[in-house]
Structure 1
Amino acid sequence: MKALWTGTIGFGLVNIPVKLFSATQASELDLDMLDKKDLAHIRFMRVNEKTGKEIKWENIVKGYLLNNKYVVLSDKDFETAAAVKTKVIEISDFVLQEEIDSIYYETPYYLVPEKSGVRAYALLREALHKTGKAGIATFVMRNKEALAILRVSDNVIILNKIRFEEEIRNTKELSLPAKAAIKPGELKMAVSLINQLSGKFNISKYKDNYSSQLLKLIKAKSKGAKINAPHLKVVHNKTKDLMSQLKASLQTKNKKAS
């Protein structure tokens, strides 16, 4: 695994040299875009929408549309606005993990200590684990300041980039039902159904079945096998009554368990 970033964790007056590694990888198949006629690769071009001509990179600028007029930005403008370059993941606060809504979570990374930071890394890891807290930190990655939390999972400190408050849309724009729309009996039945279907979370139970099925199809097609499209079944509820649907759901679960 190749490190994406190197620097230090700033923990009070303690500095912990670390490397940053990606914690995720894509599960979907890597498909190429091809010309239907001869299966040649499709090449994308940067084209002027007015002239239809291809534009070279050196002739492309970036601009922001303000009051129906573009303000063109130079490299110097970006440098002026860029965050101060630093190699420190500076922890400013500690909070309980459950206080952080999952909507803020973005990209996870693994933090691994350099040789000189092993003891300090282990100390921070165990302290976070014992308190059940996460560190709120800022750091600069690719010339942009990012907000993140540092939390512990098993034996590793995970840095999760999180979104700023202004990046989250307000729910007031949505048309949502009021709590008064729920009947007490329906709520009690729904809670029973949830409890009946509850269990300990185990991520290994859930697989990317689409990608594995697609790969099987590709292998079969490469051997000349005929592929039959599945028939999609539309399931209609026997009744529109919500209470009846909940009761039927509970009975279905009981039958499967027996």
Structure 2
Amino acid sequence: MEFSPFNNVVKLCLQGMSMEEAKQPEEALKIFMQAWSGATNDHECFLAAYYVARQQKTVSDRLIWLEKALSHALKLNDNTVKSALPNLYQKLAKCYGDLGDSQKSAEYAELSTILNEKPSDTGPFYHGTKADLKVGDLLTAGGKSNYQPELTMNHIYFTGLVSGAGLAAALAKGEGRERVYIIEPTGTFENDPNLTDKKFPGNPTRSYRSTAALKIVGEVEDWDRPSLEDLQRFRERRTEGNGEIIN
């Protein structure tokens, strides 16, 4: 399943997070439970359980919901969820430590460390832009940020989701046609720290960055454009949530 900010369960989780930020935990829990009730697959169940766990008042209850989240996550061979496992294992280690089970706490802490070393994603990967490029061209770091124009970026960014690259293309500056290119990293890359373990656990948007160039190897001709309404909502959320970019 591709992560989408327009998925109904994801939307409910975002609403619940807004209630958390407004210091209304009871309302947040109601919305997260609504997300849990409306979840229709393991990925949605994982997300909803993760957020329900955040609003539990006792460690034992929090552990129950985190274990539900882990149960659904482990059913998925999915890079979106794999990236969340270090965060989830870390939270489980904390719960078991608080409950006095040092052995299980150490086991989960070790799992978190092992999985947190580098992205396991093997692609394919995509980059969204309005630039007119051709196969063989290289995309390099040093461009201006789409979000803070005064900032020169030290990395070049890409994603494992066509929809994510399409959204980036729609938000990119310029007057050209929105393009989604298939790319290959020419060097090592890392999870985008501006998105990883922020609002959502792990790196659900499969967003990465590299100081090495990205090589254009093709173009996706047929992809779903975000609606004008969804694009406007995304711009509003981006404006509200803009903080310092980790560069």
TM value normalised by structure 2: 0.19
Between structure 1 and structure 2, the one with the greater Rg is 1
* Structure with greater proportional helix content: 2
TM value normalised by structure 1: 0.18
* Structure with greater proportional strand content: 1
